[in-house]
A and B are shown apart, each in its own frame.
Chain A
């Protein structure tokens, strides 16, 4: 194996993979208990909600868009779910209602972006305000409690040692993976980002699928609300604010980019895990809080610098 082909192989691996491995090794050495089964399980649980948001975010970013409203919509859906459960509604219809709330906001986002032509950053910033406002006004900033035992016990359940939230995350990932790489909708997603006109010329209702991408984002925010509400045993209007930024960072760190309209879904999974491993590892190693805050920013930047270096090396080989 020549050095050149070794370099070619090395640069074919996305930066996030190196980062993830480096972090895992470092934390395993520095933190006793990091690589233990309970802790790995924790990382899974802590990352599942973010993954649910990052997967549709990948599609949205691939379509050269952005969704800043996910955290707020998650909050509103969670509050809806909790209020219904507290009011005696059964879990299944309440969950459908919460997902419905998410779906509605997703469709609104899609309409604003696709029909009215308002840039995604602005559209979703606007819906963020509306969703957050609605949730705050409805709850006066308080948690909604008294949701009964059904959801919390479902959340706490496990199957073959894997917690419920991890199972949901894995299942959703597999679904998204199949959709993107094996269905026509998936090819449309690529096309909407890369070459929208040719898709329309081919007779496809491009606008419809484009709106669908945003609707998917809202829907997943609603589904994620199920997990978060189960985790907190309450609905809270602002608990998830800011998660969409983490999701965006995870997607970009994972290799999908804003401009080129291409995307790599496994990269999103790696990105989410990297963020989860970092946050968890910093706690296990008991790094001081201000250093934790700085590290998260450094991680995001380092991942992209690695990719930038990688690309320039590849261009040379």
Chain B
């Protein structure tokens, strides 16, 4: 995982107009953001679109990053915004174009490789959306509690509480399944 300070420096250089820093930053952070989107979007192509949209937004508002501050909360806050906007747009379109039952049938009919049923998401399935998002930021993106609080516009206390509840739920589910099964295949 890229050291966080290095990412902060790359972002400052990006603001200064350094094209090498842009390439390095996109390569370092792009896969994490893509994984963040894969976790909740219907398909890889949706995640690709969201990633491109996020970088466009990042580029437009890059002046709002404050040099010296951690860049990950800043990036994830924008990524969350893009995902919410996309979700609202999709909801409006779906509501106008076809009934909900039909949409569910369509998504169920998607080929298996197009869905995002990877191991981590299977593990996190019993959690609420908010808990899943926070666990992903902490465990996949490697962010601190303070950084997650910044990215989600929550207090550190609220993040801690969500993590505590998520772990309790994960422990209970894993215990119910048995440790061997939980650690080798993920939860059903």
Pairing of A with B: no
